[in-house]
Amino acid sequence: MLPDAARLRARVEQTAAEILARAGYERIATPSFEDTELFERGVGHSTDIVRKEMFTFEDKGGRSLTLRPEGTAPICRAYVEHGMQALAQPVKLAYAGPFFRHERPQAGRYRQFHQLGAEAIGSDSPLADAELIGLLAEILAELGVPGVKLHLGSLGSFEARQAYLAELKEHLRANEGELSKEVRERIDANPLRAFDSDDEGTQAVMATAPKLVERLEGEDAEHFAAVRALLDAAGVAYVIDPTLVRGLDYYTRTIFSFVCDRLGAQSEIGGGGRYDGLVEQLGGKPTPAVGWAAGIERIMLALDEEQAAPGRDVFIAVAEGGQELRARAHVLAGELRKAGFSAEIDLGGRGLKGQFKQADRVGARRVVILESEGAQLRDMSSGEQRSVDTGNLIEEITADNPVEETAGGEA
């Protein structure tokens, strides 16, 4: 990742981190690779991720390890392993970092990509679902991601889903001839994924398939209604999508997906849902939980921002080539940085003209020109230039541009 993209990525991560921190989601980081079995058990044997997309290798001791393809299973592993059940529930966590999937690379799909995510572990309240969905909506809105739409669905509880799955399998078998080979081979293992297929024949069969969202009963139906009511009350817009499924086995009840119409084929910007069975499956006590992950590269693609020059408060140029002036520039830059300004000097031995060009390239708002006697201060937008006393430079710069307003420039 090159610096222009890095600046945008920092803004995305910072915006998310601030919004999540304000809601009490504490940062967690898990290792880049873990035992393969964690992902097999956590993500599910029948998923594309486990069947085809993991970077798995053996270490010198013959243990099978895998570069993490997602963040939720490792976080639940940490929750169990580090006794987080004993903390006040739910434990609210946030993360960002690299993930790895062996997929065919294309725009918006990479083998190493970055996700930011949030989880609330230890609450079955619809409030947790609504809060998390609202937070991702807020992050995308705050960043200014255009054309975002929220799809919402529910898979019901694991037990309630079994009767429905039997019915769905029957429908798929009755129409087996029209299904894609891949869907046909997985009727038993993962029939829900047929909703996700981009094969035309399969899509036609799925258009008439029974839909889970329309058959929710009892507490599952109540939970889903409560999540919807909370989103309505908070003004979070969504569409109910009866064909929504997700690529990981662990979801129960609420699932959701934020899509962006600027993204072409890889249109999902982030998504998640409730995973009430996962902690138990990984060896913990039964613990309801909900969370999401969003793709940082996809957010960046959707923003499609012209990258402006990075922006600096001050560029310190020297009027003549001597070492003594350059050494003074070096000291002054250090002082300005300590005072909270972003400041650069020329490290390339340029003449004065070249230094001005460089000041322009980095988007310097003003240039200090050190002379053997005294200095000039030039405002780069107005072109105004005046003599200043070098002893008072920091005061002069602070006076016409307080640190609070300029510090750091672009995030």
Q: 106-135 mask for ligand AMP (x: CB under 6 A)?
A: --xxx--x-x--------------------
Which residue, among 291, 302, 226, 271, has the nearest Cα to 20 in the 3D structure?
Answer: 291
- Least Å distance, CB 102 to ligand AMP, is 9
Q: Where are the beta strands (DSSP E) in 122-265?
A: 148-154, 239-240, 252-260
From 268, 305, 371, 410, residue interacting with ligand AMP (rule: CB under 6 A): 268
Q: Are 126 and 227 contacting, i.e. CB atoms less than 8 angstroms apart?
A: yes
From 103, 178, 371, 410, residue interacting with ligand AMP (rule: CB under 6 A): 103
Q: Is 284 in the site for ligand AMP (CB under 6 A)?
A: no
Judged by CB under 6 A, which stretch of 10-18, 32-40, 100-108, 217-225 contacts ligand AMP? 100-108
Q: Is 297 in the site for ligand AMP (CB under 6 A)?
A: yes
Which residue, among 208, 226, 224, has the nearest Cα to 216 in the 3D structure?
Answer: 224
Residues paired with 21 in a beta bridge: none
Q: Is 269 in the site for ligand AMP (CB under 6 A)?
A: yes
DSSP secondary structure code for residue 99 in this structure: E
- The CA distance from 76 to 282, in Å, is 7
| Positive/negative CA dihedral, 378, 384, 385, 388 | negative
Which residue, among 152, 398, 113, 157, has the nearest Cα to 276 in the 3D structure?
Answer: 157
- Least Å distance, CB 354 to ligand AMP, is 40
Nearer to ligand AMP, 125 or 267 (CB): 267
Which residue, among 87, 351, 263, 51, has the nearest Cα to 43 in the 3D structure?
Answer: 51
Judged by CB under 6 A, which stretch of 235-243, 262-270, 329-337, 380-388 contacts ligand AMP? 262-270
- The CA distance from 257 to 241, in Å, is 10
Judged by CB under 6 A, which stretch of 178-186, 188-196, 294-302, 400-408 contacts ligand AMP? 294-302
Q: Is 274 in the site for ligand AMP (CB under 6 A)?
A: no
From 48, 70, 129, 220, residue interacting with ligand AMP (rule: CB under 6 A): 70
Interface residues with ligand AMP (CB under 6 A) are 70, 101, 103, 108-110, 113, 115, 247, 268-271, 293-295, 297-298
